[in-house]
């Protein structure tokens, strides 16, 4: 006797689908996520010239921070002054080689460069943002405790400063 495969009837298919609906739903979601386009990603900047890299502008940051903090309820007109310990810093990629000689170990470090049409440029490994030292915020509502707290928390969140480095003053 030969085995012959018969396609399942529609009722049996519905029973199977009902039984495994969550598994099938998870598989479909996973497949959809795998096929979802990731979109265009910007290539990381590879040159050390700063071209295309965002430059740090303290005055623009203070102005933007002042405008943002002015929107806090009860703050009124706000002016911000920031002091910076260090500005933007670019750390180049280096190649370190160690060699053993009769006198001992010798370490040589070279900056990795790429050839461009206009010459050679260093590859930037890390670009560090500015490090702030302190902030003074002058606010019309700066005498109210709840406004002081909100402004201190906002400045701390945006600059990474601790509350001990932020001063809120009442202004007119």
What are the tens digits of pLDDT across the range 125-169?
677 778 888 999 999 988 999 999 999 999 999 888 899 999 999
Question: In this predicted structure, what is the pLDDT of residue 8?
Answer: 67
> Where would I find the H helices in 55-169?
58-70, 145-159
Q: For 21-42, what is the mean pLDDT?
A: 76
The CATH class for the domain spanning 58-88+129-170 reads alpha beta
Q: For 85-103, what is the mean pLDDT?
A: 74
Question: In this predicted structure, what is the pLDDT of residue 90?
Answer: 72
What percent of the chain has pLDDT above 70?
A: 84
Question: In this predicted structure, what is the pLDDT of residue 54?
Answer: 55
Question: In this predicted structure, what is the pLDDT of residue 46?
Answer: 43
**E strand intervals along 55-163:** 78-86, 89-92, 94-101, 104-111, 113-116, 119-122, 124-128, 131-139
Q: What is the mean pLDDT of the chain?
A: 79
> 82: burial class by Cβ within 10 Å (0-12, 13-18, 19+)?
buried
Instruction: Return the domain boundaries, the chain.
Output: 9-37, 58-88+129-170, 90-126
Selected residue with higher pLDDT from 168 and 15: 168
Q: What distance in Å separates the CA atoms of residue 59 and residue 156, rounded to the nearest whole number?
A: 18
Handedness of CA 41, 46, 50, 51 (dihedral sign): negative
Q: For 48-71, what is the mean pLDDT?
A: 74
Q: Is the pLDDT of residue 106 over 50?
A: yes
């Amino acid at each position: 006797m030969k085995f012959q495969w018969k396609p399942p009837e529609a009722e049996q298919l519905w029973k199977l689908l009902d039984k495994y609906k969550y598994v099938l739903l998870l598989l479909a979601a996973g497949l959809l996520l795998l096929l979802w386009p990731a979109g265009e990603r910007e290539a990381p900047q590879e040159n050390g010239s700063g071209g295309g890299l965002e430059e740090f502008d303290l005055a623009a940051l203070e102005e933007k921070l002042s405008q943002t903090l002015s929107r806090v309820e009860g703050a009124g007109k706000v002016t911000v002054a920031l002091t910076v310990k260090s500005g933007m810093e670019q750390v180049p990629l280096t190649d370190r080689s160690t060699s053993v000689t009769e006198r001992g170990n010798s370490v040589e470090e070279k900056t990795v460069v790429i050839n461009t049409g206009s010459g050679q440029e260093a590859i930037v490994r890390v670009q560090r943002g500015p490090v702030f030292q302190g902030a003074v915020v002058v606010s019309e509502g700066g005498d109210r405790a709840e406004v002081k707290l909100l402004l201190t928390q906002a400045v701390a969140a945006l600059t990474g400063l601790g509350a001990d480095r932020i001063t809120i003053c009442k202004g007119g």
